[in-house]
Amino acid sequence: MERMEKLLYEASIEGNLTVLRMLLQEDPLILDRVTVNHHGDLPLHIASMLGHIDFVNEILTRKPQLAMEPDSHRRLPLHIASAKGHVELVRALVSASPETCLARDRDGRNPLHLAAIKGHCDVVKELSQAQPHAARALVQQDTILHLCVNHNQPEILKFLIETTGDHEFVNSKDSHGNSILHLAVVYRQIEIIKFLLHSTSIQVNASNTNGESPMDILVQGPRDLIYQQILQSLMRAGAVEAKMGNLIRQTPQNLDNNFGYYNMKHASSSHLKESLTNSEDWLDRKRNSLMVVASLIATMAFQAGTNPPSGVWQDTSTTDPLHKAGYAIMIFNHSTLYQVFLVCNTVGFVSTLSIILLLISGLPFLKHRVFLWILMVIMWIATTSMSLTYLISIWVLSPKPESEQTRHVAEGIVLVWIGLMTLLVVGHTIRLILIAMRGFRRLLFPRKRPIMRPIIMNHAGM
């Protein structure tokens, strides 16, 4: 008898129909006997795991009730087939026993839950069509939508919401009061967040058991590019920080103006903090942009210095000391212009190297706007120098007099551009001077503010 059971298990692993039929012919009760005496996986479970559709159909034809038989983990064959993504097997098992769609394993999950976790969209569609109520089953107070977010399955989430989702289902909360939007923000899943905000009736300002909205959870994480994208999406949808909103809503409307000003000042502290943070992020983005541009200009200047216009001599002349291999041809043909070209190119190269050195130094004063203005002036010097370098290169490489008119047009364009950049730098300089003058005036003539402590104490004592 043990030999026949061993042969049955081997046949289920291989999907061997011939051996299965031979064993059933010799012992029609072998499947029932194995089910009663089993201590591990059943043949139908093994075949369902390995995707042997013909083997499974043969067993279901003879013993359809085995589709309801659980293993040691309380998993039915449908659980295993769903987790593995075998669509035809799922269809066969559901046809044999439709109620298996609602069966739960030891962890409380039904086959639809397992298919959603594993991302098998075709299986999810099959099970949802066979038993729509399976999508409403909870797993330790988590809905199937929470499971989709926890395992980053946006396609499954979209399908379930579009087919079975309503306002109450979409806004369901887990044991900690988190909606699926809370979880998507925690895991920084941009695709899911945008879908929920644009295509569902998700409540963007719902609070969990800690009184935190999705915006509150977002501001606790790192401030990177993903943070900026999520922040913009939430703000467009009208999201706010729950704690700040509670402070504003709880401010009494019948208090006097001074006390109301005091409360509103403290209630808006989070706004002030967010503004400072946005200012720092803006400075960081500007510094990063300057680093990229400076690196590109430095590369261009180095290339122009080592390979000047007209190139270098490839041979050495015995009559002319300037005609040597590796020397610039421009020295021989345009000695004066070459000196100007070399000075402009060197100024641009050194300017960009200075920007790179200052940005990577990590000095504390680098976070001030004045320093950003200084970097901008240095960048203006670098770009102007490279513009003049380009202009000299065009002058040297253009034949005369055939290209004289075109060359004059190029000169005019470059000079106009330099003029516009000069006006921009002067404008920023004047603006910075005005800001500095206002700061000095506030320092010399501080504005007196009304004392509100007695008013606050009176209200506190009420």
In SS3 terms, 283-302 reads as: HHHHHHHHHHHHHHHHHHHH
With tokens 């989070």, the residue in question is: 270
What's the rounded Cα separation, in Å, for the pair 90 and 111? 9
Query: Residues with Cβ < 8 Å from 302, sequence gap 6 or more?
Result: 349
188 — alpha (psi -120 to 50), left (phi > 0) or beta?
Answer: left
Q: What angle do CA 349, 295, 411 make, to 5 degrees?
A: 55
Q: Residue 322's pLDDT is what?
A: 72
Positive or negative: CA dihedral 409, 411, 417, 423: negative
Positive or negative: CA dihedral 222, 225, 228, 232: negative
Decide if 325 contacts 313 (C-beta within 8 A): yes
Residue by residue, pLDDT tens for the chain (462 residues) are 578 888 999 999 999 999 999 999 999 999 988 888 766 689 999 999 999 999 999 999 999 999 999 998 899 999 999 999 999 999 999 999 999 999 999 999 999 999 999 999 999 999 999 999 999 999 999 999 999 999 999 999 999 999 987 899 999 999 999 999 999 999 999 999 999 999 999 999 999 999 999 999 999 888 888 999 999 999 999 888 765 544 333 333 433 343 333 343 343 344 444 444 554 555 566 667 777 888 888 888 888 888 888 788 888 877 777 777 878 888 777 888 888 888 988 988 898 888 888 777 766 555 566 677 777 788 888 888 888 888 888 887 877 666 677 767 877 888 888 888 888 778 877 877 887 787 777 777 665 544 444 433 343 333
Q: What angle do CA 215, 219, 223 make, to 5 degrees?
A: 130
What's the rounded Cα separation, in Å, for the pair 462 and 460? 6
Which residues in 409-446 are b (16+ Cβ under 10 Å) and which e? Answer: eeeeebeeebeeeeeebeeeeeeeeeeeeeeeeeeeee
CB atoms near residue 403 (< 10 Å): 15
What's the rounded Cα separation, in Å, for the pair 117 and 150? 8
* 27 CB burial (10 A radius; 0-12, 13-18, 19+): middle
Q: Which residues pair with 139 in a beta bridge?
A: 142
SS3 for 128-179, per residue? HHHCHHHHHCCECCECHHHHHHHCCCHHHHHHHHHHHCCHHHHCCCCCCCCC
Q: Which amino acid makes up residue 436?
A: A
What's the rounded Cα separation, in Å, for the pair 300 and 289? 17
Helix (H, G, I), strand (E, B) or coil at 328: strand
Domains of the chain: 1-126 (1.25.40.20), 138-250 (1.25.40.20), 283-444 (no CATH)
What's the rounded Cα separation, in Å, for the pair 113 and 135? 8
pTM reported for the whole predicted model: 0.54
Decide if 342 contacts 305 (C-beta within 8 A): yes
Q: Which residues pair with 142 in a beta bridge?
A: 139
Which residues in 246-264 are b (16+ Cβ under 10 Å) and which e? Answer: ebeeeeeeeeeeebeebbe
Q: Residue 153's pLDDT is what?
A: 96
Q: Residue 10's pLDDT is what?
A: 93
Q: Residue 115's pLDDT is what?
A: 97
Q: Residue 324's pLDDT is what?
A: 78
Q: Residue 281's pLDDT is what?
A: 57
Q: Which residues pair with 312 in a beta bridge?
A: 328
Decide if 281 contacts 299 (C-beta within 8 A): no
What's the rounded Cα separation, in Å, for the pair 236 and 109? 36
* 77 CB burial (10 A radius; 0-12, 13-18, 19+): buried
What's the rounded Cα separation, in Å, for the pair 60 and 102? 19
Q: Residue 24's pLDDT is what?
A: 92
Q: Which amino acid makes up residue 427?
A: G
What's the rounded Cα separation, in Å, for the pair 233 and 292? 27
Residue 401: alpha-carbon gap to chain centroid: 57
Helix (H, G, I), strand (E, B) or coil at 312: strand
Decide if 81 contacts 50 (C-beta within 8 A): no
Decide if 49 contacts 89 (C-beta within 8 A): no
Q: Residue 441's pLDDT is what?
A: 75
User: Can you read off the two tokens belonging to residue 362?
Assistant: 């990590």
Decide if 371 contacts 365 (C-beta within 8 A): yes
User: Can you read off the two tokens belonging to residue 58?
Assistant: 């043969």
Q: Which of 139, 62, 70, 134 is nearest to 99 (CA)?
A: 134
